[in-house]
């Protein structure tokens, strides 16, 4: 497993991080969760990404993963959590107020059963809370010794610049990392954010690098039982799996096989082709998927012609224009 420097900071992240949004809640078998986490660690994945409301039910992923991580040496792993999305009822259960951020952090630490998080994020921008309030809450978390590094997720390019500058001018703990959605099918970060992170010295960890599974071969012949798209009200929407889009995925799959890789491996190599991307934040439902994905490093390089060919294929995809750079 290669480890990449998180922006200008001394912290190194594994180029692949395991996220626990799906398949680690109260509805998933404990044995499978344990197998995924332990085999991830065995293959050099030292970073596990959580948030207050991962489940279902909310909070259960932190409880389950926390129990499993007790089996690993704390100083050899990074544990991440976030606050900002809806977690508990009432006006303090979500968003970016100091009240929510710090109460949520305390709850998350208790659920995971650790004294501190290595990384802690503002999970989404909040138009109603001034940035200095949210950044100030992250700073307090660091000063209280509950968090080592802080970051932001899904903040726009401009809000990222503003946040970093507020931290600097107030003497707050600096931002270390940004967590945006980034994949072959969602390239909004190429419209400025990736340059901004590079310039400000922030690391970038790309979530949903497989577009929740669409950038694998699993949907080429329909929607398999038990897959993410098969779940009712799935976060992977059926229109994203239109016939037109599946044809594009087929073309990508053909190209990946010509490279001697699976499509999942090619999609991860593609996200990591820019060194400013510190880590690809994958999800998984089995340890076999994790093992397949970490093998991407055997064939991670692209020629310029190949990247152009991939762009030509991707131009045929039918997804909202906001996802494109
Ligand atoms: N900051 C934020 O707002 C935010 C938002 C979303 C996610 N995240 C983070 O990002 C993490 C990853 O999100 P994600 O799970 O959507 O990522 P993803 O890597 O794009 O998708 C993961 C899914 O792809 C499928 N998959 C993975 N490897 C495969 C393989 N080799 N072959 C076939 N299928 C494969 C599995 O689907 P099946 O389950 O169908 O098998 C798996 O659950 C989350 O756990 C969370 O930590 C953050």
Task: Report pLDDT digits (tens) over 131-147.
Answer: 999 999 999 999 999 99
Q: Is residue 264 in contact with ligand 1, taking CB distance under 6 Å?
A: yes
Could you report the per-residue pLDDT of 57-115, keeping only the tens digit for each?
Answer: 999 999 999 999 999 999 999 999 999 999 999 999 999 999 999 999 999 999 999 99
Q: What is the pTM of this model?
A: 0.98
Nearest-CA residue for ligand 1 atom 15 is 283
For residues 232 and 202, what is the distance between their CA atoms, to the nearest angstrom? 37
Reported as a pLDDT band with limits 50, 70 and 90, residue 324 is: low
Cβ atoms of residues 101 and 93 within 8 Å:
no
For residue 187, what pLDDT is reported? 96
Q: How far is the CA of 99 from the centre of ligand 1 (A)?
A: 30
Q: Which atom of ligand 1 is nearest to the CA of 230?
A: 40
Q: Which atom of ligand 1 is nearest to the CA of 183?
A: 20
Q: Which atom of ligand 1 is nearest to the CA of 218?
A: 33
Nearest-CA residue for ligand 1 atom 8 is 207
CATH number of 3-237+274-290: 3.20.20.100
Q: Is residue 261 in contact with ligand 1, taking CB distance under 6 Å?
A: no
Return the best residue to mutate from 14, 15, 16, 22 for the ligand 1 pocket (most ligand atoms within 8 A of CB). Answer: 22
Could you report the per-residue pLDDT of 296-306, keeping only the tens digit for each?
Answer: 999 999 999 99
- Cα torsion angle, 166, 172, 176, 181, sign: negative
Distant-in-sequence, close-in-space partners of 127: CB < 8 Å, separation ≥ 6: none
Q: Is residue 210 in contact with ligand 1, taking CB distance under 6 Å?
A: yes
Q: Specify whether the backbone of 279 is left (phi greater than 0), alpha (psi in -120 to 50) or beta.
A: beta
Q: Is residue 4 in contact with ligand 1, taking CB distance under 6 Å?
A: no
320 or 79, which is more confident?
79
Whether 226 has a pLDDT exceeding 60, the answer reads yes
Q: Is residue 228 in contact with ligand 1, taking CB distance under 6 Å?
A: yes
For residues 230 and 87, what is the distance between their CA atoms, to the nearest angstrom? 25
Reported as a pLDDT band with limits 50, 70 and 90, residue 237 is: confident
For residue 238, what pLDDT is reported? 81
Q: How far is the CA of 288 from the centre of ligand 1 (A)?
A: 14
For residues 189 and 324, what is the distance between their CA atoms, to the nearest angstrom? 9
Q: What is the mean pLDDT of residues 141-154?
A: 98
Q: Is residue 218 in contact with ligand 1, taking CB distance under 6 Å?
A: yes
Q: Is residue 84 in contact with ligand 1, taking CB distance under 6 Å?
A: no
């Amino acid at each position: 497993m290669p480890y990449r420097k998180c922006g200008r900071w001394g912290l190194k992240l594994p180029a692949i991080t395991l996220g626990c949004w799906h398949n680690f809640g109260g509805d998933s078998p404990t044995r499978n969760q344990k197998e995924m986490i332990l085999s991830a660690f065995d293959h050099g994945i030292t970073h596990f990404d959580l948030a207050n409301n991962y489940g279902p039910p909310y909070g259960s992923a932190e409880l389950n993963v926390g129990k499993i991580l007790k089996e690993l040496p704390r100083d050899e792993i990074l544990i991440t959590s976030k606050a900002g999305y809806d977690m508990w009822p009432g006006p303090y259960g979500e968003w970016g107020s100091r009240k929510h951020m710090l109460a949520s952090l305390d709850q998350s630490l208790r659920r995971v059963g650790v004294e501190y998080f290595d990384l802690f994020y503002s999970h989404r921008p909040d138009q109603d809370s001034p940035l200095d309030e949210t950044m100030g809450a992250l700073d307090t978390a660091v000063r209280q010794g509950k968090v080592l590094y802080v970051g932001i997720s899904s903040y726009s390019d401009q809000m990222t610049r503003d946040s970093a500058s507020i931290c600097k001018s107030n003497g707050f703990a600096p931002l270390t990392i940004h967590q945006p959605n980034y994949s072959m099918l969602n390239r909004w970060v190429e419209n400025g954010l990736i340059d901004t992170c590079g310039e400000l010295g922030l690391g970038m960890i790309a979530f949903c690098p497989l577009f929740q599974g669409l950038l694998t071969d699993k949907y080429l012949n329909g929607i398999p039982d038990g897959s993410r798209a098969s779940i009712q009200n799935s976060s992977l929407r059926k229109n994203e799996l239109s016939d037109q889009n599946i044809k594009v995925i087929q073309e990508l799959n053909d190209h990946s096989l010509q490279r001697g890789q699976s499509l999942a491996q090619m999609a991860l190599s593609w996200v990591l082709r820019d060194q400013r991307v510190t880590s690809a934040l994958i999800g998984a439902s089995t340890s076999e998927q994790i093992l397949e994905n970490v093998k991407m490093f055997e064939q991670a390089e692209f020629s310029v012609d190949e990247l152009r060919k991939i762009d030509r294929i991707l131009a045929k995809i039918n997804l909202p224009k906001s996802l494109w750079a």
